[in-house]
Structure 1
Amino acid sequence: MLYIIAISLLLILLIFTIRSNKKRAIKNIEKISVPNHWHSVLKDNVLFYQKLTEKEQQLFREKMAGFLASVHIRAIKFELEELDTLLVAASAVIPVFRFPSWQYTNLTTVLIYPDYFDDDLQFDSKVAHRNIGGLVGTGRFENQMILSRKALHHGFQNKTDKGNTAIHEFIHLLDKLDGVIDGIPEVLLDKQYTIPYLQLIHKKIEEINNDDSDIRNYGGTSEIEFLAVAGEYFFERPKLMKRKHPDLYKMLASCFIK
């Protein structure tokens, strides 16, 4: 009898703790403030944001605030500016904006380097082969993303090149949510579409490698990079993709537009 009473008390305590944590989480969400001046900054710098309705823009800013409340952004050897932070947050929100609720559970920190870097994460101007603009960390950098500040800003400054490094890396993070980065976004793609999706991307990769596509060449290196490169194109130049690659646009829309 005492054993049953003890178990009952533990269950009551557990339920109380869960409810308290939920209430605390709700209060924390309510405390997240969205500065008014974000709107003008985003209007000036983020094409995706410009195309949203006023109500959608408000939601976009709220999602950015939620992201910044849960992920730490740190500058390496330069002074972080607000625009750097807002561009990272915008890059995170864009791929998942149409999802009712979303958190990058596999990301805790974004490290921003001042320039492009090499395989050893060296970014000094004297180092050769500094051509990496971003990566999703592994090993000691697990749950971290590394971005080049130059690549981050270039992705938003050039509105016609169909590319955006930061969005590219956040798509890799989405791909990784099923445990592995393999180019098959299982958390986004319904299972019945997996085979048609693979058949389509293999066709598109072949077109890239035969120099018969306007999709960036890097997308032809693997299924992994194709997903991220095609995702950049989808978000940066959606009308162009819909016209030139209607089958691919439709498939990606089924992933990113819920």
Structure 2
Amino acid sequence: MYFLIFLIAAVLAGFYFYYKSRPETAKIFPAEWEGLLQEHVRFYRNLPKEKQPEFRKRILQFLGETYIDGVETEITDLDKLLIACSAVIPVFGFTEWHYFNLTGVLLYPDYFDEDMQFADTDKDRNIGGLVGSGRFERKMILSRRALRQGFDNTTDKSNTGIHEFVHLIDKMDGSTDGIPEDLLGHQYVIPWVNLMHKSMEEINDDESDIRKYGGTSQAEFFAVVSEYFFERPDLLKNKHPELFEMLQSCFYPKA
């Protein structure tokens, strides 16, 4: 327990020194990364060829602005790419986006518990990611297992990395409340809130295929339905056309 707290503190200190002397964003996308994207990221594979260079550019931008470090695990190229893709996918519809409320990502090897422990088998370890607060403000913690499962399973409508970055997007207006004011036009706020409450009632009444976690709060609903939108857009459009149209306007305002 104390060792892990010390280790996390040391990593956070590393964030500070990194930001004092971080290098410029890399200009060249490594050739071997293209194969990793094609193999693991369906969103990228499905992009028109002419948009893929912009996606790669946005990955480099994110990695140049955000520190990623492992807690008792080494960071691989695939880890970096999947974290960056989780960040880029929800905001790819915007010409420019910076996560000003994020300085770094901590990657754990496995799921963790509320005390951020992952090695104690007597604990209930079921958390795959979270956006930090308090001493972890402007940090994100992700489980490598959850991160990779989110991209490898393309049928379950879930993606932990996207989920947590949607929370960050929601939080950018100062409140994590499921109402992303930075994305929604003013005229859409009340319709979105009404649609959100209606959909949450359907979830809690077992009348929806949206993951049950989405019925626990407005913030979790927005994150869960956003996972659905990016993982299974055709299915969401078919089963929940109003939600699809609202999220389409939210994430692709110029579409």
Q: State TM-score, norm by structure 2.
A: 0.89
Runs (4+) of structure 1 moved beyond 2 Å?
none
Q: 226, 250, 253: which is aligned to 1:255?
A: 250
Q: 149, 152, 158: which is aligned to 1:157?
A: 152
Q: C-alpha separation between the residues in 2 aligned to 1:208 and 1:141? A: 31
Alignment of 1:104-119 (within 5 A): 104-119=99-114
Equivalent in the alignment of 2:169:
174
Equivalent in the alignment of 1:197:
192
Equivalent in the alignment of 1:95:
90
Alignment of 1:217-256 (within 5 A): 217-256=212-251
1:137 aligns with 2:137: no
- Alpha-carbon offset, residue 158 of structure 1: 0.4
Aligned residue pairs: how many? 231
Equivalent in the alignment of 1:64:
59
- Alpha-carbon offset, residue 196 of structure 1: 0.5
Q: Which amino acid aligns with 2:53?
A: Q
Q: Secondary structure at the match of 2:191?
A: helix
The Cα offsets for residues 209-236 of structure 1, whole Å up to 9 and x where unpaired, read as 0101000000000101000000000000
Conservation of the 8 A alpha-carbon contact between 1:95 and 1:171: yes
When the two chains are superposed, the root-mean-square deviation of aligned CA atoms in Å is: 1.2
Q: Which runs of 5 or more residues in structure 2 are unaligned?
A: 1-23
Q: Secondary structure at the match of 1:37?
A: helix
Q: 199, 208, 214: which is aligned to 2:203?
A: 208
Q: State TM-score, norm by structure 1.
A: 0.87
Q: Which runs of 5 or more residues in structure 1 are unaligned?
A: 1-27
The Cα offsets for residues 40-86 of structure 1, whole Å up to 9 and x where unpaired, read as 11010001111001121111111000000010000000111110111
- Alpha-carbon offset, residue 125 of structure 1: 4.2
Q: Which amino acid aligns with 2:116?
A: L
Q: C-alpha separation between the residues in 2 aligned to 1:198 and 1:132? A: 27
Q: C-alpha separation between the residues in 2 aligned to 1:120 and 1:128? A: 9
Conservation of the 8 A alpha-carbon contact between 1:32 and 1:69: no
Q: C-alpha separation between the residues in 2 aligned to 1:128 and 1:234? A: 33
The Cα offsets for residues 151-193 of structure 1, whole Å up to 9 and x where unpaired, read as 0000011000000001000000000000111110000001111
| Higher radius of gyration, 1 or 2 | 1
Conservation of the 8 A alpha-carbon contact between 1:38 and 1:61: no
Equivalent in the alignment of 1:85:
80
